[in-house]
C-alpha cells in the first residue's frame, strides 16, 4: 500500500494519530523536498528517503515497491498535481492507496486572518525574477481576483527562498509595467511568517512598512485582500503593524 501523508505545517508535531500509525507500519518512508519547504529531518529513528523534483516526477520506482510506502508531503497531499499523478498511476496499476488529510496553506492563510472562505480566489505563485525571466502573469491573476472582490493568496518562490522585501519589489515592478492600479507603497497587505509553527508571526501593513519588517522568517505567505466586509476589516486590524 502507498500512503499519502499530509504533513501539515510543522511535522512531526502536526502529524495526525492516523498518520503516525501508518508511518510506524511503513517499510519505506519518502519525504518530498520539492513541492514545499520541508522541515522534517527525522521520525522515530527511522531511515527517511528525501526526494527532489527529479525523483518525484520520475516516480515509477515508487510504484515498484512491494512493501508499505509512505510519501510525506508538506501541507495537504494533493495541493500539488505531482502527488495526484502518482496516486492516479498507482490506482491504474491496482496498487492499494490511502490518503491522509491535514492542514494546508489553502485556504488557511486567508481564514487565519479572518477573511471569508467564499471570497478566496485562485492562489498565485510569485517566482524569483531572473535576468531574462520577469513574468507578468502573477499580476494579471491577482488583478483578476481583485476586480471581482476576491482575496489572493501569494506563494513565494522557495528555490532559493524569495524574501519578503524582494517579493514586494517584484509586485511594484509589475505595477509599473502593467499600470493596473493594483499596487503602490501605501497598499495594505497581510503577511504570514512560518504559519502553524511555534514562532509564527502575522502582520497587516502597507507595502512600504512590510519592506522594512524584519521579525518574520521564511517561509512567507502574502495575502492581498480584495473587497473587505466590515467583519473582515475588523479581523485584519487585529494584526495591524
The CATH number of whichever domain residue 94 belongs to comes to 3.40.1010.10
| 81 membership: H or E segment, kind and range | helix 81-92
Tell whether 38 and 26 lie within a shared domain. Answer: yes
Tell whether 144 and 156 lie within a shared domain. Answer: yes
Tell whether 44 and 79 lie within a shared domain. Answer: yes
pLDDT > 70: percent of the chain: 99
Q: Residue 44: is its pLDDT beyond 80?
A: yes
The CATH number of whichever domain residue 120 belongs to comes to 3.30.950.10
Tell whether 112 and 171 lie within a shared domain. Answer: yes
Tell whether 79 and 183 lie within a shared domain. Answer: no
DSSP 8-class letter at 159: T
Q: Residue 33: is its pLDDT beyond 90?
A: no
Q: Residue 39: is its pLDDT beyond 80?
A: no
pLDDT at 41 (0 to 100): 87
pLDDT at 137 (0 to 100): 97
Q: Is 171 exposed, middle or buried (0-12, 13-18, 19+ CB in 10 A)?
A: buried
Boundary of a domain, candidates 76, 103, 130: 103
Angle at 111 between CA 103 and CA 235, to 5 degrees: 145
Is residue 121 within 8 Å of 145, Cβ to Cβ?
yes
Q: Residue 70: is its pLDDT beyond 80?
A: yes
Q: Round to whole Å and give the CA distance between 149 and 184.
A: 18
How many structural domains is the chain composed of? 2
Could you read off the pLDDT of 92-133 as tens digits, one per residue? 999 999 999 999 999 999 999 999 999 999 999 999 999 899
pTM exceeds 0.95, yes or no: no
Q: Residue 155: is its pLDDT beyond 90?
A: yes
Beta strands in 27-76 (DSSP E): 28-32, 49-51, 69-73
Question: Cell 509512505 belongs to which residue?
Answer: 70
Q: How many CB atoms lie within 10 A of CB 238?
A: 10
Q: Residue 35: is its pLDDT beyond 80?
A: no
The domain of 137 spans: 106-237
Tell whether 63 and 127 lie within a shared domain. Answer: no
In this prediction, residue 34 has a pLDDT band, given cuts at 50, 70 and 90, of confident
Question: Cell 525574477 belongs to which residue?
Answer: 129
pLDDT at 36 (0 to 100): 72
Average pLDDT, the chain: 94
Tell whether 132 and 82 lie within a shared domain. Answer: no
What is the DSSP secondary-structure string of 173-226?
A: HHHHHH--S---TT-EEEEEESTTSTT-EEEEEEHHHHHT--S--SSEEEEE--
Amino acid at each position: 500500500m502507498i500512503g499519502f501523508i499530509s504533513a501539515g505545517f510543522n511535522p512531526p508535531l502536526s502529524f495526525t494519530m492516523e498518520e503516525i500509525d501508518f508511518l510506524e507500519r511503513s517499510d519505506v518512508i519518502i519525504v518530498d523536498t520539492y513541492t514545499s519547504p520541508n522541515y522534517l529531518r527525522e521520525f522515530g529513528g527511522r531511515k527517511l528517503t528525501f526526494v527532489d523534483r527529479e525523483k518525484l516526477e520520475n516516480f515509477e520506482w515508487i510504484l515498484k515497491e512491494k512493501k508499505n510506502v509512505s510519501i510525506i508531503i508538506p501541507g495537504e497531499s494533493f495541493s500539488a498535481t505531482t502527488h495526484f499523478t502518482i496516486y492516479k498511476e498507482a490506482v491504474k496499476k491496482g496498487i492499494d492507496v490511502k490518503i491522509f488529510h491535514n492542514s494546508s496553506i489553502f485556504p488557511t492563510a486567508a481564514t487565519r486572518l479572518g477573511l471569508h472562505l467564499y471570497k478566496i480566489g485562485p492562489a498565485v505563485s510569485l517566482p524569483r525574477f531572473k535576468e531574462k525571466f520577469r513574468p507578468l502573469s502573477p499580476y494579471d491573476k491577482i488583478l483578476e481576483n481583485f476586480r471581482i472582490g476576491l482575496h489572493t493568496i501569494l506563494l513565494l518562490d522557495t528555490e532559493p527562498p524569495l524574501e519578503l522585501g524582494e517579493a514586494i519589489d517584484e509586485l511594484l515592478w509589475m505595477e509599473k509595467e502593467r499600470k493596473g492600479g493594483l499596487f503602490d507603497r501605501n497598499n495594505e497587505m497581510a503577511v504570514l511568517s512560518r504559519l502553524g509553527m511555534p514562532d509564527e508571526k502575522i502582520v497587516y501593513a502597507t507595502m512600504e512598512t512590510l519592506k522594512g519588517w524584519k521579525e518574520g522568517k521564511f517561509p512567507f505567505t502574502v495575502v492581498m485582500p480584495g473587497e473587505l466586509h466590515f467583519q473582515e476589516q475588523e479581523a485584519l486590524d487585529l494584526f495591524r503593524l
